[in-house]
Structure 1
Amino acid sequence: MVRRTWHIRRPWRTASSGLAFLLTATMASSALASGPGGRQELATRGGSAVSLRAGHRTPFVIAHRGASRYAPENTLAAIDAAHRRGLVWVENDVQRTKDGQLVVMHDTTLNRTTDAAKVFPHRAPWRVGDFTAAEIARLDAGSWFGGRFAGERVPTLAAYLRRLDRNRQGLLLELKAPERYPGIEAQTLRELRARGWLDGAHLSRRLVIQSFSVRCVRRVHSLAPQVRTGILGHPPLSALRSYARFADEINPRMSQVDSRWAQAVHRLRGPHGRRLEIYAWDVAADAGVQTVRTRPVEGVID
């Protein structure tokens, strides 16, 4: 990576796990962090840091929905699986329950990754926002992935943050479908503050908030300008300058990244004075390590 400090979002599928392993192995158990004055460093779990080599081009790997190749996505087990594999940044998705609690879930419906259809057979289409936190807490979010994960639960954001702190991991937090949950930006920031995640250490090294909704990202920045933010997607060149006022990263599909677009992104500086960064997701299953290294991105979300 070149001149970076944060990290970001999404996936490749299981077929690309060999590539993810090789990229991750090159980074060992390190996470990128900015040192004093913005000096590029590698911060290890133990808290020590060493400067990066100039021109270092190994993309940083962020565990998509936790280590979702090895454990059910967006669960505490997936956080721990990432931790065991030396991945110190994870990505997750946050939504809101019927009674106003924040939970970690990718789909806006519960039936793909839980047994909601079995427990609540008459409540299709099982939208997250139609269930209380207590009802969601009853669901098995692990058996679909494998028998040894039976009984794994959908975590609240509070529980998720506690586990990340225990493991000393960073979080790329996606606000999922914010148009369904008015006010979720402010609510999420309140939860982060209550859990100690808006202090200097977390803000400088361990937290980025992103969304596909430009309005959502702008809202987060207006409420908490100290928080680093990312826009998911591939905005046109004409929009980049305006987005740089409130976003630190632009995070597209890997297939959308070309040199002209990436150069335009990298020429701009974000609200914290640093060059905009690119974290790509949906990397082709047959992409090799060298192929990824030659792409003009700071990291991949896998």
Structure 2
Amino acid sequence: MKSILLFLIGLLSISNNAQIKESYMSTKIVVAHRGASGYLPEHTLESKAMAHAMNPHFIEQDLVLSKDNVPIVIHDIYLDDVTDVALKFPKRNRQDNRFYVIDFTFDELKTLQVTERFHPKTGEQVYKSRFPKGKGNFKLHSLQEELELILGLNKSAGKNIGIYPEIKEPGFHIKEGKKLTEIVLKILFDFGYKTKKDNCVLQCFDAKELERIRTELKSELFLVQLTEFDKDVKNLEYIASFADGIGPWYKQILDKKVNDKWQFTSLVSDAHKLGLKVHTYTFRADAFDGFSSFEEMMQTLLIDVNVDGAFTDFPDLVVNFLEK
């Protein structure tokens, strides 16, 4: 009798864990890519606040360490394509003429002005119809500052919008003697993001690092393996051994168009067979290469091929599409 009772308790536990895992993944999710970056400079607190008001399921944080080991929310290890670092610190570039986040203290980084993304060599704004380059008063900020903002807004607005942090260039940080992953995991833990039941998805392009997060560092968070090239998804079984989902570039999902109808690769169906969620990137209303319109892009990827979620610079448009 006792063994039967323990067996039933075990089944209930498995069922509860499955329900917990699916609780915030049971619908198609919208991830605010670098915030509401289609409207305000990416990864600024202003962009994150605007995104929060648009009701996505998650808001993304790309993370790079400062010289004094503060996780900075910025898309890349470089500073010179989104800030005025070349003007404020003209002699602090490396041999490749790039300016690196890791070479500046947090206090120094806070002195920089953040602007709309531009080409560092030409100064030309990447997305010309977006917020004017060089205008406004935007600053860099830490992971802690962003978590305080999102959790504060969740409380004041009565929402439960999650976070979707990315460990950026872990190999680069290791070579620089930095433990980016360990520092980020501790901060997430301290803010209450500990297991799959918490509203946090941790992502990384480096499969070995993501596997290490699961096996060596014993993280119980929902993990997503980002992919960009076909070689990245050749062994989905390996990815499924440590990750809960994949984040492919949307062109990895598309095959070709026949009579104005898209044909797809097997990536989404193969991932689903292994129990992996598929969150594809990036939906841009001003750059939908391969599609005749942004609406066609949303319909094709979110509905026709049935991905589980999307990263977007325009969270309001994707939220509205899914609500319809």
TM-score, normalised to structure 1's length?
A: 0.74
Provide structure 2 residue ranges, at least 5 long, that are not aligned to the other structure.
1-14, 118-130, 155-160, 254-263, 313-324
Considering only aligned residues, what root-mean-square deviation do their CA atoms show, in Å?
A: 2.6
Q: Pick closer, same or farther for the CA change 1:184–1:150 going to 2, 3 Å.
A: same
Could you say what secondary structure the match of 1:66 adopts? coil
Counterpart AA for 1:150: G
User: Retained in 1: the 8 A contact 2:202–2:224?
Assistant: yes
Structure 1 residue aligned with 2:66:
97
Paired with 2:44 and 2:209, the residues of 1 have a C-alpha distance of 24
Q: CA deviation at 1:36?
A: 7.1
User: Retained in 2: the 8 A contact 1:265–1:276?
Assistant: yes
* 1:1-302 equivalent positions in 2, closer than 5 A: 37-38=18-19, 59-124=28-93, 125-142=98-115, 145-146=131-132, 150-168=136-154, 169-182=161-174, 183-198=179-194, 203-222=196-215, 223-233=217-227, 234-235=230-231, 238-257=234-253, 258-268=264-274, 275-283=275-283, 284-285=288-289, 286-287=293-294, 288=296, 289-292=298-301, 293-302=303-312
Q: Pick closer, same or farther for the CA change 1:155–1:238 going to 2, 3 Å.
A: same
Paired with 1:256 and 1:143, the residues of 2 have a C-alpha distance of 28
Tell me the alpha carbon deviations over residues 180-221 of structure 1, each in whole angstroms, 9 at most, x when there is no partner: 1122111111111222332x6xx4141011111001111211
User: Retained in 2: the 8 A contact 1:185–1:219?
Assistant: no
Q: Pick closer, same or farther for the CA change 1:62–1:237 going to 2, 3 Å.
A: closer
Structure 1 residue runs of 4 or more that deviate by more than 6 Å after TM superposition: none
Q: CA deviation at 1:98?
A: 1.2
Paired with 1:195 and 1:300, the residues of 2 have a C-alpha distance of 25
Paired with 2:43 and 2:35, the residues of 1 have a C-alpha distance of 6
Counterpart AA for 1:173: P
Larger radius of gyration: 2
Q: CA deviation at 1:112?
A: 1.2
Q: CA deviation at 1:35?
A: 8.0
Paired with 2:92 and 2:267, the residues of 1 have a C-alpha distance of 45
User: Retained in 1: the 8 A contact 2:52–2:150?
Assistant: no
Could you say what secondary structure the match of 2:224 adopts? strand
Q: Pick closer, same or farther for the CA change 1:63–1:237 going to 2, 3 Å.
A: closer
Q: Pick closer, same or farther for the CA change 1:149–1:226 going to 2, 3 Å.
A: farther
Could you say what secondary structure the match of 1:282 adopts? strand
Paired with 1:155 and 1:95, the residues of 2 have a C-alpha distance of 11
Provide structure 1 residue ranges, at least 5 long, that are not aligned to the other structure.
1-33, 44-51, 269-274
Q: Pick closer, same or farther for the CA change 1:88–1:297 going to 2, 3 Å.
A: closer
Paired with 1:195 and 1:36, the residues of 2 have a C-alpha distance of 21
Structure 1 residue aligned with 2:321:
none
Q: CA deviation at 1:290?
A: 2.3
Q: Pick closer, same or farther for the CA change 1:96–1:60 going to 2, 3 Å.
A: same
User: Retained in 1: the 8 A contact 2:193–2:221?
Assistant: no
Paired with 1:77 and 1:176, the residues of 2 have a C-alpha distance of 22
Deviates more, 1:116-125 or 1:230-239: 230-239
Q: Pick closer, same or farther for the CA change 1:237–1:82 going to 2, 3 Å.
A: closer
Counterpart AA for 2:106: A
Asked which structure has the greater RCO (Cα within 8 Å, sep 6+), the reply is: 1
Deviates more, 1:157-166 or 1:254-263: 254-263
- Equivalences, count: 247
